[in-house]
Structure 1
Amino acid sequence: MAEQLNITRLPPLTVPSLSVAASYDQHRGKGTPLIIDNGSTHLRFGFCTSNGPRSQSNAVAKYKERRTNKPLLLFGDGIEAEGGAKSQVKTPWEGDVLLNFDALENALDYAFIQLGIDTPSIEHPVLMTERLCSPLHSRSLTSELMFEQYCVPSLAFCVDSVMSFYYNNLPSPPVPFSSDGLVVSFNTASTSVIPVLNGKGLMSHAKRIPWGASQATDYLLKLIQLKYPTFPTRVTTMQTNWMLQNFCEFSIDYPGLLRRLKDPLSMRASERILQFPFTLPTIEEKTEEELARIAERKREQGRKLQEIAAKARQEKLAQKENDLQHMLSLRERRDEESKKEWAVRNTLQEEGFDDDAELDSAIKKLENDLKKVRKKDADGDELEDEPPSFPLLDVPDADLEEDQLKEKRKQRLMKAGYEARERAKREKEREREEREAEERREVEERERDLAGWASKLKKEQEAIMNKIKERNRRRAALNDRKSAAAQARMKSIANLAADDRVPKKRRKGGGEDLFGADDADWAIYRKINNAAPSSDEEEDMVTLQAVEQKLLQHDPSFTHEHTHASLSAQRSALLTAFRPQYDDGDVEGKSRIHLNIERWRVCEAWFSPNMAGVDSAGLGEIMQNVLSRFSDQEKGRLVKNVFVTGGPSQLPELVPRMQAMLRPILPPEMPLEIVRAADPMSDAWKGMADFAKTDEFTKVGVTKEEYEEWGGERIKRWWGGNWNSSIPLE
């Protein structure tokens, strides 16, 4: 099933292995140049005579171990071994600028320990990388650290991408480096374009955009979070970077790709499914006896609840009848006594009523409540064995005692209730007869002309569905403040605010608000409140379900796919392909991430950073800007060797995309060749190692004596560095 759906499981976290320090004996006292590629994500270091660099994650964490309560200093992959240390991670780099020199010192300490250097000072000249256009104070502080802390004999800086170009274009046999080319470096926090003519990097013509692998990773993570806002598992930056490296790619024609992916089948074919770890819920299996016992217990509980509810209803009904009888007696006393005596006694206030109108309102409310309860009893067809008798109603009050008078009043209430139930039964019987007659007429019509009957019901269904659609469309339009519906709503609100039914003076004094006294007020309320429920909507749904049920039962051409529930439940096929839906109980499916358009959208941000919210020119625009500074002859030398390096340069389809981008801005006869670095991750270090073996290396570094005389801002001009002056900058 996993192969059928093209599902990929996330790789498990590997426990970092403990690296062993190398032997220093073969380099002791020889002054072998030391090569340090200080990258944003990885630190690569080693002697220039080594076969390859040692590599470690360029991150440090100061962490206090809980069991021993001792402070620990973790570097590189060792941070992954301690969960509590991950929140304390620091790197030497802030974006594309070297700022955290404490972390840099820790990184250099680790490198020198792993190389086995056990001398009080570093007795080796150092060649170290720096970013394109690095600030002068970063170089100055790095020089101070290297000369003051480690006492290196000399220090030289170079741009990593230029040294990678040097390694991949080094002639054989070795001669002075004089290659031409356009270096495009994809770094962690930026992407730079550096022209190289006659073996010299023209840094004054170089350009850089603030978009790199870290921004692409963050952008992909935001897209995933937007697509899956309730994803059950936390998606980490490390996992997102793994997705970027393994599933994202460049598109030669991004607008054409979007047009192609409008087809749901094409989008399904292009997706990659990531299966995150999940835990299935444990379900305890019960025996048949236990299930039967549980069912019997539930039935018993249901019976008890029904009995309790019935008893509560009877008690509530009896209480209401008693209250009604008491209120009726009050009204009878009021009618029998004169107004003056009634006012003097203040009986209503003692009973909790303000005036006669409130008493009449309470009596009317209780009568309505009792009427509803009796009608409900009548709907339940609770037939009485024989009509009840009320013998005291025919006896004059003068012939009755006090207890008999109370019983007579009670019988009068009971007779009124009985008569109300009888009327409700007769009304229900009449409605049943009318319904049966309507059903007979409908059956006759259906048997006489099935097609016409079905057509009439389908038109009725369509009309109701159109009403529901129009209601939903209006509700959606109210969310747009510029729509006509929203403006009409605001006009209604303004009219209500200016309502003068309550005088202004009385309104200021806390006068009664009369909104709601008129039934039209509630129509206005539903009009201005898009969340207010509508009784028409509920009636439409009931009618629609009844119509569809008849069509499903008698019309063979009408299926469940034609019902309103099925049509409304069917989401857009494209939206379903973009993010498939899983059932609530499917824990495995809920833990999947479907990558489709995101695979190309993230990479397209290198050429259009504004689509990710970065106000910057794209890679194609800055390459065109760089090439425009050169003559056609020099431009031809540059584009004949367009060299791409850096980790993101390994993403698929980058070279064809750059060819499709550069070819239209070049003359047709001008040759274009784009070359990818053999090993984008290590070629910069290898190029530095090869350069350190030449005699030219001794001329580009600043010695300790020059540092002590001129300070950390002392620089030397050379083809692989940032600076173009051999005098100190002030």
Structure 2
Amino acid sequence: MSEEVILLKDLKLVPDKYYNYTQALKNSKTPIVIDNGSFTCKAGWATSKTPNLTFKNILARPRKERGKKDGETLIGNDIPNIEAVRFQLKSQFDRNVITQFNVQEQIFDYTFSHLGIDSNGSINHPILMTEPVANPNYSRLLMSELLFECYHVPGICYGIDGLFSYKHNIGKKTGLVINCGHHTTHIIPVIKGTPDLLNTRRIDVGGYHITYYLHKLLQLKYPAHYNAITPSRAEELLYEHGFLAVHYTDMLKKWSDADYYDRNVKRIQLPYSMTVVLTPDQQRDKRREMAKKLVEMNARKRDEKLAEDEEQLQQLLLIQEMIDDGEPIEEVREVLKSHGLKNEKDLRKLISDLQTRIDRAKSKIAASLNASNVEEHVTEEPKLRLFKNKIQLPKEDTISKTWLKDIYKRRQDIIDKKAVRKQRRQDMAKRGTAASLERMRLISQLARKDKRDDDFGSRDEDWDVYKVINKEGGDTDSDEEQEKITELEEIIRFYDPTFVSSNTNEEQNPKEAHQLHFGIERMRCAEVLFQPSMIGCSQGGITDTVEFILKKYNAETANALAENLFLTGGPTKLPGFKERVYRELREMRPLETNINVKLSNSPLLDSWYGAKEFANSGDFHKYLLTPEMYAEHGGDYFIENYCSNMYCPLPEAIQEPEGLSEQNQEI
């Protein structure tokens, strides 16, 4: 096994900076490009080389504490530790479709404020924004309504992120886009620069499912570290050490080999805190201090209770004096009633009980003061008397190093016997070992004996033979041996304070106990993209879906698509993704088919780069949806472009005939 131990980075997010809103930007009407992904949001000016902002598309709204003002809402990179607010996280997405527009509005506020826009009541820049394939009209309607009526933008253009990335890397050639997102994977055929959305297919598996699957695999493998294995750490392990197997079944066979496992497994170190081991003197002082605090706490409670009882007794004695002095009966009854008493008899009984309780409490206080100076050795002595019943202890003045050494030896002998039996059990589980052969020899000898004069078990030596042939190796006396070890260790610890008993490996080496062996999980988690059934999804994998789409075209078009397979999206960064797609399609397609697989130059950012190029093109403004068009055609309307969805208008509402409504009311 590789001795290298990998430390988790546990990177903390760095807050985004606020940019200056220059006069040139104010006057130029520069478009704002927003790649609104369900995992990360990339936003920036169309004139920027890279996105000005890249942050996780989430917000955290801390719970309101009683008596305090509402906590500040944190968005994206302003959340320093996502795991600390994991259960307060909110997203505007339901899978890959936006449904929570109150959250989206806060994301827009965060984006525009960090871009430095300080115009009052409006954003005077056109917006180019990505949306999912086949985005529902209602979702687009609400998005247009938000941008036009809340931010008063001059124009909106929508497009598909995977197609922007394809255009940036490939251009307008015929090809097949495999766009792996956070929640879904889309496979989009592009015919001569135009997306064929009718033959596009979606797989409901993405980067989120890979991370989730890995997270659960590691938690099941290491239940002792259930809380330490977080989704953020699973995500880090996936993209730092995960990969896709080119031949999954062949790799499974390799990982079953112990030598291959040792050479390729990654040892991941989880954070841990060293346990401070106290010396016997420190332990004794700690116990004494805790006992002292407990005595003080009990004494304080007794004093408080005694003071309450004495105060109540004084009040009752005053009432008794009123009765003895002949105060008016009505006034006495009112006073008795206020103390929950019915008559003078109840008063005298309560006074007697209180006096008894006070006397008893004062006696306990006096006794505790006399016992406060008792030394610790008084409590240690009974422990030794308990051992005298089983282990012969010498007198205090005759204890020598030889006697203590003998106690050490007796303890070690028992430990060695247990180790021998454990090894014997392991050997018996294997065929051909000396232990298993000896067991078979003894069994055959016993079987040959004459049953009429069978006296096996009458001698003490027979028990040793039984333990040899017993598969459990004589585990029946292990409890007694463990009890003897415990007693011997207590005696040694009493006479030798420096003694440290043999504990578990976790206590001896906490560093190794907090390590994860990241082996077969490295490739198993990402396999869900090609075998969704591993997580219970009934859909086909990526290459199965690609083959399904190619069969919808004639041979010439299918070959043209296979010659230009394009991979984009975060999960495609995993090593082996490109090779896996090529290998499986090579097996599926005819021998003469030329297959070429290209990976995006920047799988995470190329969709933003492609959208930026489109925003800077001369055709951009003719694809803008203006407020006038929005008011005339309705909220779901948009202008199609070569990277967008198809516009499918909502059907008009069916008008109910005039007479029919009256008939319905009568019914």
1:278 and 2:272 aligned: yes
Do the aligned residues in 2 keep the contact of 1:79 with 1:86 (CA within 8 Å)?
A: no
**Contact 2:214/2:525 (CA < 8 Å) preserved in 1?**
yes
CA distance, structure 2, for counterparts of residue 281 and residue 259 of structure 1? 40
- For the residues of structure 2 that align with 1:203 and 1:290, how far apart are their CA atoms? 77
Q: Is 1:218 the equivalent of 2:216?
A: no
Q: Deviations over 1:643-701 (max 9, x none)?
A: 10111100001111111111122222221111111111111111111011122222222
8 Å contact from structure 1 (residues 464, 544) kept in 2: no
Displacement of 1:70: 4.1
Partner of 1:720: 643
Pair 240,545 (structure 1): closer, same or farther in 2 beyond 3 Å: farther
Q: Structure 2 CA distance, aligned partners of 1:681 and 1:648?
A: 9
Counterpart contact for 1:645–1:677, Cα < 8 Å? yes
SS of 1:667's partner is: coil
CA distance 1:263–1:29, shift in 2 (3 Å): same
Contact residue 186 and residue 200 of structure 2 kept, 8 A: yes
Give the stretch that moved more between structures: 27-36 or 105-114.
Answer: 27-36
Q: Is the 8 A contact 1:233 1:591 kept in 2?
A: no
2:439 to 439, 458, 480: 458
Cα deviation code 1:602-647 (max 9, x no counterpart):
1111111101222211111110011111111111221211110111
The SS at the match of 1:713 is coil
SS at match of 2:28: coil
Q: How much has 1:272 moved relative to structure 2?
A: 1.1
1:374-400 deviation digits (Å, cap 9, x = unpaired): xxxxxxxxxxxxxxxxxxxxxxxxxxx
Q: Distance in 1 between matches of 2:517 and 2:543?
A: 30
Letter in 1 for 2:386: L
Q: Per-residue deviation at 1:728? A: 5.8
Q: Which residue pairs with 2:263 in the alignment?
A: 269
Q: Is the contact between residue 2 and residue 264 of structure 2 (CA under 8 Å) also seen in structure 1?
A: no
1:58 and 2:57 equivalent? yes
2:192 maps to 1:198 = yes
Partner of 1:706: 629
User: Where do 1:474-623 residues align within 5 Å?
Assistant: 543=464, 546-547=467-468, 564=473, 583=506, 585-623=508-546
**Percent of paired sites with the same residue:** 27
- 8 Å CA contact 2:219–2:226 kept in 1: the answer is no
The one-character-per-residue Cα deviations of 1:154-198 (angstroms, maximum 9, x if unpaired) are 11111100000111124xxxxxxx312110011000111101111
C-alpha distance 153-289 of structure 1, shift in aligned 2 (>3 A)? closer
One-letter amino acid of the structure 2 residue matched with residue 458 of structure 1: R
The corresponding residue for 2:149 is 148
Could you say what secondary structure the match of 1:672 adopts? coil
Q: Which residue of 1 aligns with 2:565?
A: 642
TM-score by length of 2: 0.66
Partner of 1:125: 126
| Equivalence map 1:395-410=2 (5 Å) | none
Alignment-mate amino acid for residue 90 of structure 1: K
Instruction: Decide whether aligned partners of structure 1 residues 40 and 290 sit closer, same or farther in structure 2, where only a CA change above 3 A counts.
Output: closer
Aligned-partner residue type, residue 141 of structure 1 = L
Mapped to 2, the partners of 1:644 and 1:288 lie a distance apart of 63
The one-letter amino acid of 1:59's match is I
Query: What secondary structure is seen at the aligned counterpart in 1 of 2:611?
Result: helix
- The aligned counterpart of 2:406 is none
TM-aligned CA deviation for residue 601 of structure 1: 1.1
User: Within 2, Cα distance between the matches of 1:646 and 1:464?
Assistant: 71
The structural deviation recorded for 1:16 is 2.3
Residue by residue over 1:419-439, the C-alpha shift from the partner in whole angstroms, topping out at 9 and shown as x without a partner, is xxxxxxxxxxxxxxxxxxxxx
Q: Are residue 228 (structure 1) and residue 229 (structure 2) matched?
A: no
Pick closer, same or farther for the CA change 1:455–1:267 going to 2, 3 Å.
closer
| Separation (CA, whole Å) in 1 of partners of 2:14 and 2:265 | 32
The 3 A distance-change label for structure 1 pair 651 and 84 is closer
Q: Deviation per CA, 1:550-579, whole angstroms, max 9, x where unpaired?
A: xxxxxxxxxxxx99589xxxxxxxxxxxxx
> CA offset at residue 71 of structure 1?
3.2
The equivalent of 2:584 in structure 1 is 661
Matching residue of 2:381: 300
Change (3 A) 1:712 1:542: farther
Letter of the structure 2 residue corresponding to residue 89 of structure 1: L
Using the alignment, how far apart are the partners of 1:699 and 1:465 within structure 2?
99
Q: Whole-Å Cα distance in 1 between the matches of residues 533 and 197 of structure 2?
A: 26
The one-letter code sitting in structure 2 at the alignment partner of 1:655 is: K
**Corresponding residue for residue 26 of structure 1:** 24
Shift of 1:586: 2.9
SS at match of 1:662: helix
* CA pair 82-131 structure 1, distance change in 2 beyond 3 A: closer
**Contact between 2:2 and 2:263, CA under 8 Å: does it hold in 1?**
no
Structure 1 residue 269: deviation in Å?
1.9
Mapped partners of 2:591, 2:107: distance in 1: 50
- For residue 4 of structure 1, report the CA deviation from its aligned partner: 4.3
Equivalent residue letter for 2:439: K
Secondary structure of the equivalent of 2:236?
A: helix
Change (3 A) 1:268 1:308: closer
Give a deviation string over 1:431-472, Cα, whole Å, max 9, x none.
xxxxxxxxxxxxxxxxxxxxxx99995335668999xxxxxx
* 1:140 CA drift (Å): 1.1
- The unaligned stretches of length 5 or more in structure 1 are 171-177, 311-452, 467-535, 550-561, 567-580
Check 1:241–1:108 CA distance in 2 against 1; reply closer, same or farther (3 A cut). same
Change (3 A) 1:273 1:199: same
The whole-number CA distance in structure 1 between the counterparts of 2:583 and 2:60 is 44
Asked if the contact 2:266–2:519 (Cα under 8 Å) also holds between the matched residues in 1, the reply is yes
Q: Which residue of 2 aligns with 1:165?
A: 166
- Correspondences of 1:8-47 after superposition (within 5 Å): 8-14=6-12, 16-17=14-15, 19-47=17-45
d(CA) in 2 for partners of 1:648 and 1:619?
A: 12
Cα distance in 2 for residues equivalent to 1:289 and 1:708? 79
Do 1:275 and 1:591's aligned partners in 2 also have CA atoms closer than 8 Å? yes
Q: Secondary structure of the equivalent of 2:575?
A: coil
In 1, Cα distance between the equivalents of 2:462 and 2:245?
A: 48
Q: CA 1:607/1:197 → structure 2, altered by over 3 Å: closer, same or farther?
A: same
Q: Give 1:584 deviation, angstroms.
A: 5.4
Cα distance in 2, alignment partners of residues 290 and 545 from structure 1: 46
Conservation of the 8 A alpha-carbon contact between 2:181 and 2:207: yes
C-alpha displacement of 1:545: 6.7
Where does residue 347 of structure 2 map in the other structure?
none
- 1:149 to 1:10, Cα distance in 2 relative to 1, 3 A: same
Equivalent residue pairs, number: 479
The reply to whether residue 111 of structure 1 matches residue 111 of structure 2 is yes
- Runs of 5+ consecutive residues of structure 2 not aligned to the other structure: 286-374, 392-433, 448-456, 476-503, 653-667
Give the counterpart letter for 2:539 in structure 1.
Answer: S
State the match for 2:412 in structure 1. Answer: none
What CA deviation, in whole Å up to 9, does each residue of 1:263-294 have, x standing for no partner? 11112222111110011110123579999xx9
- 1:447-501 residue CA offsets vs partner (Å, 9 max, x unmatched): xxxxxx99995335668999xxxxxxxxxxxxxxxxxxxxxxxxxxxxxxxxxxx
2:365 matched residue in structure 1: none
Q: What are the residue-to-residue correspondences of 1:170-181 with 2, within 5 Å?
A: 170=171, 178-181=172-175
The change in CA–CA distance for 1:683 and 1:540 in structure 2 (over 3 A counts) is farther
Structure 2 residue aligned with 1:496: none
Matched position secondary structure for 2:50: coil
Q: Which residue of 2 aligns with 1:450?
A: none
Output the CA distance in 1 between the equivalents of 2:443 and 2:467: 13
Bigger CA radius of gyration: 1
Amino acid aligned to 2:216: K
Q: 1:540 to 1:640 in 2, by over 3 A?
A: farther
Name the CA shift for 1:239/1:716 in 2 (closer, same or farther; >3 Å): same
Q: How far apart, in 2, do the equivalents of 1:610 and 1:262 lie?
A: 22
Matched AA of 1:42: T
Counterpart residue identity of residue 6, structure 1: E
For the residues of structure 2 that align with 1:710 and 1:289, how far apart are their CA atoms?
A: 81
SS of 1:225's equivalent in the other structure is helix
